[in-house]
Amino acid sequence: MLFPTETFYALGCLATQGRAVGRVYQLKGRSVQQPLPLLAADMDQAASLACLDGDALTLATLFWPGPLSLLLPVRPGALQALPSPLVNSAGKIALRVTPHPLAALLARLAGGPLTASSANLSGKAPARYYQEVSPELTARLAAAQPAGQGGLILPRHPDEDPAGGAPSTLVEPLGGGRVRILRSGALGTAMLAEAGFCGI
């Protein structure tokens, strides 16, 4: 399905559904060597899949819900529930808790975190508005849906449109107040520094 998040429109499914995850990769034309980011409705959902302790818990407490994705170890026991393309070679997943009300509601209704890769063909620009979503992508999505089922979730109000501008910031907590910045984005490094975290 296509749905709005706090940054851009996303293409997603329940993260534990391997067949659906495979379809997301096919729809985007994305390599399965590139794990998809995940989006949770709340801290409990996030903690059901990832280890949240130490600096990771501090960052989550300070910046979630919000556009900060954390690269976190998969919780013991949760690894079997996740399709292998979502987990990197170090056994970690990219995860955030969304502040977007509609995205959070979808994750709650689905019963767990969603994949939340930007709704664009691989290598193309992300979309803030539905009109910016590639017609080719929406056609692929429509063809992949069972007859009579929709795959597009539009905001109920204009103020629920994605903010656009930049994707979520992605960092890996390293301990000792250090983070590896893997992708700069909507949450600036100055905010991390103000919170006592040093980016490398």
Phi, psi values for residue 74, rounded to 5°: -70, 140
Instruction: Please calculate the CA angle 166-96-16 and round it to the nearest 5 degrees.
Output: 120
Task: Write down all domains in the chain, each with its CATH number in brackets.
Answer: 2-165 (3.90.870.10)
Note the pLDDT of residue 6.
95
Note the pLDDT of residue 138.
87
Note the pLDDT of residue 157.
82
User: In what order do the strands lie in the sheet containing 2-4?
Assistant: 2-4, 9-11, 117-118
Rounded CA separation 158/179 (Å): 35
The total number of residues written for the chain in this structure: 200
Rounded CA separation 36/102 (Å): 20
Note the pLDDT of residue 155.
83
Local structure of residue 92 (DSSP, 8 states): E
Note the pLDDT of residue 63.
98
Q: What is the pTM of this model?
A: 0.92
Note the pLDDT of residue 149.
57
> What is the phi-psi region of residue 115: left when phi exceeds 0, alpha when psi lies from -120 to 50, beta otherwise?
beta
pLDDT tens, N- to C-terminus, the chain (200 residues): 899 999 999 999 999 999 999 999 999 999 999 999 999 999 999 999 999 999 999 999 999 999 999 999 999 889 999 999 999 999 999 999 999 999 999 999 999 999 999 999 998 999 999 889 999 998 888 887 765 555 778 887 888 899 999 999 999 999 999 999 999 999 999 999 999 999 88
Note the pLDDT of residue 150.
57
